[in-house]
Amino acid sequence: MRSIVIGIVIGCVVGVMFGATVIAPRLDQSRAVSTHTPDSPAMADKKKPTDTSDQKNRADDTAPKPVPSEQISGTVLPPAGPDRPVVRWRMASAWSGSLPQLGSLALRVGRKLWEVTDGGIEIKFFEPGELVPTSEMFNAVSSGSIDAAFSSPGYWGEKIPALQLFSAVPFGPEASEYMAWMYFGGGRDLMQDIYDKHGIHSVLCGMNAPEASGWFRRAFTTVDDLKGLKMRATGLGAQVLRKVGVHTFPLQEGDIFTAFEMGDIDAAEFSMPAIDLKMGFYEMASHYYFPGWHQPTTFFDLMINKGKWDALPKIRRSQIETVCGDNVRQGLAEGEALQFTALKDLTARGVKIHRWPEAILTSLENAWRDVAAEQSSADSDFRRVFASLTAFRKNYAVWHELSRR
């Protein structure tokens, strides 16, 4: 009997210890698990395999959205995609698209703007005379009958004499000095001030290397040999030539060859070797003179109706200015690279290359001083622009002398 009682006691003790050390902890774990609802992530993980795409979607819904870079910079870009507003303009050109540089630079503006803006700006190129006569482009842009035109400020010298100084200056600055004055010496501000009066915004949009002086049917030794010459010439250079007795005619691109054939002219200046080669002037005259004292370098510009320019978002204006600035680089670099190959071609065709005798250049430069003085006296805008350029060149001469060999 005593053995039975002892066994019962031992059994009770063992049972209590087993319950406390084994069963109770398991009951606590079970209660902890039961506190999660069936929809909780913990239970979901136990009930089904991991769904990474579902997790990514939930993370995307809760993660902070990235801020567009254009908002970070404080500039709100126009909306992207098919719903964004597109600027569609018609652009008249002063030169045929088939001409190297003169035409190709105009075509390049439209193509590059379309690329840079991802189709946001579409400028359609029109050949000379397709929209309006070339001589009417200035008025057409001013009135808004066309949106834009690619030409050179010097084309409008009969209407606004001062604009010629933003195109090319006889015996004037070469490319680096000219750009320095235009961009940092006040030239561009003066130019825009003049254009503003006529409802036009102008963007410098191309630049040429130095031009040739022209094509002639005979050679020259003295300035008197030029008297009575009938020559196609335009702008300030034509005024200088008239001072030394040359009869000048401001013929358009397409009329020069015919004038040679008909005997209306016996000389012509147009552009640089690569372009003159394309025009075929070597068939009409065999003496080719340098340097192009009348146009040491030439600026082109994109004229835009001022109301349409002012209506553009800031970013669209910047895109146009950027593409045109790159066109200046393109024109100058390409122009310098093309000429020696063209000269080799021309000499192979029998063209005789000449440099003007120094005495003739001196006479032409003296004639230019007279023209500049007369124009300054007659026109206040010409006077203030020429004064600005002259003062800049005087200061620049110090740097020019020190920096050149």
Residue 132 lies in a domain: yes
* H/E element, 110: helix 102-116
The pLDDT value given to residue 405: 85
CATH of the domain at 140: 3.40.190.170
Residue 32 lies in a domain: no
Average pLDDT over the chain, rounded to an integer: 85
* pLDDT at 360 > cutoff 60: yes
Residue 390 lies in a domain: yes
Residue 72: band (very low, low, confident or very high) from pLDDT cuts 50, 70, 90: very low
The pLDDT value given to residue 45: 40
Query: Based on the structure, what is the number of domains in the chain?
Result: 1
The pLDDT value given to residue 18: 43
* pLDDT at 66 > cutoff 60: no
Nearest to 386 by CA among 193, 164, 204: 164
* pLDDT at 210 > cutoff 50: yes
The pLDDT value given to residue 252: 87
Determine the average pLDDT of the residues in 138-165. Answer: 97
Can you list the alpha helix ranges (DSSP code H) found in 19-82? 24-34, 41-47, 52-62, 69-72
How far apart (Å, rounded) are the C-alpha atoms in residues 205 and 151? 9
101 to each of 108, 208, 230, how far by Cα in Å? 10, 8, 27
Nearest to 95 by CA among 223, 236, 271, 232: 271
Tell me the pLDDT tens digit for each residue of 284-335.
999 999 999 999 999 999 999 999 999 999 999 999 999 999 999 999 999 9
Q: Read off the tokens for 391.
A: 């003062």
Buried b or exposed e, range 83-94, using 16+ CB within 10 angstroms: eeeebebbbbbb
Residue 322 lies in a domain: yes
**Percent above pLDDT 90 for the chain:** 78
Domain range spanning residue 151?
Answer: 87-209+295-349+381-403
Residue 121 lies in a domain: yes
How far apart (Å, rounded) are the C-alpha atoms in residues 257 and 375? 31
Query: Are residues 213 and 292 in contact, defined by beta-carbon separation less than 8 angstroms?
Result: yes
How are beta strands 214-216 and 200-208 bridged, if at all?
Answer: unpaired
Instruction: Tell me the residue type at 179.
Output: M
Residue 49 lies in a domain: no
Residue 239 lies in a domain: no
pTM of the full structure: 0.78
Task: Tell me if residue 63 falls in helix, strand or coil.
Answer: coil
Is the backbone of residue 276 left (phi > 0), alpha (psi -120 to 50) or beta?
Answer: alpha
Tell me the pLDDT tens digit for each residue of 99-126.
999 999 999 999 999 999 999 999 999 9
Query: Are residues 302 and 202 in contact, defined by beta-carbon separation less than 8 angstroms?
Result: yes
**Could you count the other beta carbons within 10 Å of the beta carbon of residue 404?**
6
How far apart (Å, rounded) are the C-alpha atoms in residues 278 and 253? 12
- Phi and psi at residue 337, in whole multiples of 5°? -80, -25
Residue that is written with structure tokens 């398991």 in the block: 26
Choice between 237 and 254, residue whose per-residue pLDDT is larger: 237
How far apart (Å, rounded) are the C-alpha atoms in residues 85 and 299? 31
Cα end-to-end span (Å), the chain:
131
3-class SS string, 301-369: EEEEEHHHHHCCCHHHHHHHHHHHHHHHHHHHHHHHHHHHHHHHHHHHCCCEEEECCHHHHHHHHHHHH
Residue 64 lies in a domain: no
Residue that is written with structure tokens 């002639």 in the block: 216
Q: Which residues, 6+ apart, have CB-to-CB distance to 113 below 8 Å? A: 121, 122, 123, 319, 320, 323
How are beta strands 298-305 and 230-232 bridged, if at all?
Answer: unpaired
Nearest to 383 by CA among 222, 161, 184: 161
**Percent above pLDDT 70 for the chain:** 79
Query: Are residues 188 and 204 in contact, defined by beta-carbon separation less than 8 angstroms?
Result: yes
Tell me the pLDDT tens digit for each residue of 344-358.
999 999 999 999 999
Task: Tell me if residue 238 falls in helix, strand or coil.
Answer: helix
How far apart (Å, rounded) are the C-alpha atoms in residues 255 and 361? 28
Going by the DSSP 8-state scheme, the letter that residue 21 receives in this structure is I
Query: Are residues 89 and 124 in contact, defined by beta-carbon separation less than 8 angstroms?
Result: yes
